[in-house]
Amino acid sequence: MYQFDWSILWGEGGRLLLQGALVTLELAALSLVLALMLGFLFGVLRWSQFGPLKPVCWLYVEVLRNTPPLVQILFWYFSATVILPPGLIMALRDWGFQFVAVVFALGLYHSGFIAEIVRGGLNAIPRGQYEAAEAIGFSFRQSVRYILLPQLVRIVAPSIVNESVSLIKNTSLALAIGVADITYQARYIDYSSFRGVEALAATTIFYLVVCMTIAGLGHLLQRRLSRHRRSAA
C-alpha cells in the first residue's frame, strides 16, 4: 500500500510548487488580457457585419475555436522561428520564449470563444439603439463605447467568467513545452522524489481553489448586475 508523505510539500517541494503556482497565475493573467482584447475586437467587428472584414473575422474565430489549444501551443513554439523576424525571436528568447508562446497561444485560442460571446451579447441588444446613436451623429466607435459597451458588459460578464476558468485550467498545457508552471513542478517532484501523488494532490487543490474562487466572484458579480437591471427597470 502506498504510504503518503505530506512532508514533501513543506520543504523544497513546497517551494517549487509555490514558484509554479505563481508562474501559472502569471500565464493566466497575461493570456486573459490578450484574449479579452482580441475577443472584444473581433466580436465587435464580426457583429458590425462590415463587408470586407466579415470573412476575415469568421475565419479567425472558426480556426481558433476548432483547433486544440495544445496544438496551438506547439505550433507557435516550433513554428514561430519561421514566421517571426529573427530579431524578435532573439528578444523573446531572452524574455522566455516558451512562456511567450503559451501566452500567445492561449490568448488567441480563448479570444475566439470570447469573440462569439461578445457577438452574442451585442445581438441581444436591440439594434435600434445603435441606429439611434448613428442618427444623432455618433461615430461607430462612440456608439460602441457609450451606448453598447455598458450594456454588453452586464450581458457577457457570466460567460466571460466561465471562459476565464477554462483558460486557467488550460495553462496546465504549458507543461508540453517545458514552462515551469505548477503542473511541471509536480511532475519534477514525482521524478526526483517519487512523491507525485502528494504533489499532484496539492496541484489539484490549487486549481480547485483558484477556479472556484473565480466562479464564486463571477456569481456575485452576476447577482449584483441582476439587481442593477431590476432597479433600472
How many Å apart are CA 205 and CA 171, to the nearest integer? 15
Q: Determine contact, residues 50/38, Cβ cutoff 8 Å.
A: no
How many Å apart are CA 171 and CA 24, to the nearest integer? 6
How many Å apart are CA 207 and CA 204, to the nearest integer? 5
- Residue-level pLDDT at 2: 76
pLDDT in tens, 52-82: 888 899 999 999 999 999 999 999 998 887 8
Residue ranges per structural domain of the chain:
10-178
Average pLDDT, the chain: 89
Percentage of the residues of the chain whose pLDDT score is greater than 90: 55
Amino acid present at 186: A
- Residue-level pLDDT at 198: 93
pTM above 0.75, yes or no: yes
How many Å apart are CA 189 and CA 155, to the nearest integer? 43
Higher pLDDT, 221 or 55: 55
User: Per the CATH hierarchy, to which homologous superfamily does domain 10-178 belong?
Assistant: MetI-like (1.10.3720.10)
Reference 43, options 67, 60, 66, 28; nearest CA is: 60
pLDDT in tens, 130-145: 778 878 888 878 887 8
Count each helix (H run) and each strand (E run) in the chain, helices first: 10, 0
Reference 113, options 53, 173, 72, 172; nearest CA is: 72
Given a cut of 60, whether residue 233 has pLDDT beyond it is: no
pLDDT (average), residues 193-222: 91
Distances (CA, A) of 154 to 10, 150, 162, 231: 43, 7, 14, 14
- Residue-level pLDDT at 230: 59
For residue 45, the number of C-alpha atoms closer than 13 Å in the C-beta half-sphere is: 19
pLDDT in tens, 77-129: 988 878 878 887 777 777 788 999 999 999 999 999 999 999 999 888 887 88
pLDDT band at 147 (very low <50, low <70, confident <90, very high): confident
